[in-house]
Every structure is written in structure tokens, then in C-alpha cells.
A and B are shown apart, each in its own frame.
Chain A
Amino acid sequence: DAGVIQSPRHEVTEMGQEVTLRCKPISGHDYLFWYRQTMMRGLELLIYFNNNVPIDDSGMPEDRFSAKMPNASFSTLKIQPSEPRDSAVYFCASTLQGAAGNTIYFGEGSWLTVV
């Protein structure tokens, strides 16, 4: 079975440019999460969706960040304009609401470098 699929795997962009990260959750999963990982701050939850609806975006660092989930099989995380401090690995993850203890599965991450 295909896991969580993210693209691009690696991106290097110049400060001020728009960055769009994409995620395809595991088919049938009804929760989707965006996490950011940096050396300084570890793993931070940015936002998560349930049935395509944003539930908690309190982790989104500022207005330059936005996320959408237009349908059950696709989500985007956009940074506009990007800044060097946005350099990080961005992970998408998904899970299916069910019995307690349902596992959250992570994608392989999008490694973003803003220069």
C-alpha cells in the first residue's frame, strides 16, 4: 500500500519566493497533519484537518503560511513569501479516526532550504 506521499522531496529557493508543498494522505484516512522539523525547535505541529476541514491551525507560525485541503486526497502547505528561517523539513502525516491508539503515519518529508 502506498504511504503518505509528499512532494517535492527537496527544494531550494530564494528568499521572497513562494513555496508550495504537497501531500497525498493514505487513502481512506480522515485526518491530515502538517509538521515542521528544525534543529532548534524539534517537531512542531503546524495545522491539522479532519474530513478536509482545518481543525487547529494554532501552530502556523505567521500569515505567510497557509494550508488547504480541497479534497480527501490532497493538501498543500504554502509559504509566501519565504524566508531563510523557514528552512526545515516539513512532514505530512495522516490517520484514520477509529479505536483509541490509531497510528499516525508520516510521509518522507519535504526538505526546504531558503537562501
Chain B
Amino acid sequence: AQSVSQHNHHVILSEAASLELGCNYSYGGTVNLFWYVQYPGQHLQLLLKYFSGDPLVKGIKGFEAEFIKSKFSFNLRKPSVQWSDTAEYFCAVRSGGYNKLIFGAGTRLAVHP
């Protein structure tokens, strides 16, 4: 069965620190990969997505992610976080030609001023 693993459940950073959140998936075929963000009390919003082409994907708010097929990974990065980045981040995979998304457990990021 398909699955998505996010390695860090909680991350605490100071403002201006660099961020990297890990995501690995377990499907060997063609995949579409997504990172969603959920700010406190809000719904999920798309940060970025990968479906083909350049494996380094740039999203909104200075986020980027790199698809490494050999490692089944799609890690999220941001060089300098802000307090407003405090949120929960979800990695998701869509595979096999189906439209359903399988989500990871999420990573809660807290950024301190």
C-alpha cells in the first residue's frame, strides 16, 4: 500500500533559521508530490507541487522542495523562516493515475521570534 512518511513531528526554530522537512513515500511508479500548509485553525493550502520536469520546485512564500526519485524523497526547504511560518506542514502523494491524495502525518513547525 502507498504510504507517506514525514520524519519530524515537531520542529522548533528561531526566526531566520533554515528549515528542511523530510518526506519519503513508498510507491515505485509515477507520482505527483505535494506540500500543503495548515495555519492554526485554517484549512489546507497548497505550498507547491511536483509532477514532472525540474525536480527542484519553487512554491509560495519562499518555500522549495526537491524531488529525488532514487531516494523516494520530496523534502521541503526554506532558507530563512519567519514567525508567520508557524503552521503544520503535510506532504502528500498521488500515484497510479488515481486522483486521491495520501497524506503524511504532518510536521508541526513553531518559529520563535
Give me the interface of A with B, judged by CB distance under 8 Å. 31, 33, 35, 42-43, 45, 48, 50, 56, 91, 93, 95, 97, 100-109
Q: A95 contacts which chain B residues (CB < 8 A)?
A: 99
What's the Cα separation between A101 and B95 when bound, in Å?
10
* Chain B residues bordering chain A, tally (CB within 8 A): 22
Q: Which of B16-24, B46-54, B67-75, B78-86 contacts A (4 or more CB under 8 A)?
A: B46-54
Q: B45 contacts which chain A residues (CB < 8 A)?
A: 106
Query: Does the CB pair A109–B49 fall under 8 Å?
Result: no
Given A100-B52, A103-B49, A104-B34, 6 further pairs, Cβ under 8 A: A43-B90, A43-B106, A50-B99, A56-B100, A101-B50, A106-B45
- Option from B34, B46, B100, B104 in Cβ contact (under 8 Å) with A33: B100
Q: How far is the CB of A101 from chain B (nearest CB, A)?
A: 3
Query: Does the CB pair B32–A101 fall under 8 Å?
Result: yes
5 A-B pairs with least C-beta separation:
A101-B51, A43-B103, A42-B105, A106-B44, A108-B43
B101 touches A (CB below 8 Å):
yes
- Option from A42, A102, A107 in Cβ contact (under 8 Å) with B103: A42
Give me the interface of B with A, judged by CB distance under 8 Å. 32, 34, 36, 42-46, 49-52, 90, 98-106
Query: Does the CB pair B43–A100 fall under 8 Å?
Result: no
| CB contact under 8 A between A45 and B100, given known A106-B43, A108-B42, A108-B43 | yes
Q: B36 contacts which chain A residues (CB < 8 A)?
A: 106
What's the Cα separation between A93 and B99 when bound, in Å?
11
Q: How far is the CB of B94 from chain A (nearest CB, A)?
A: 8
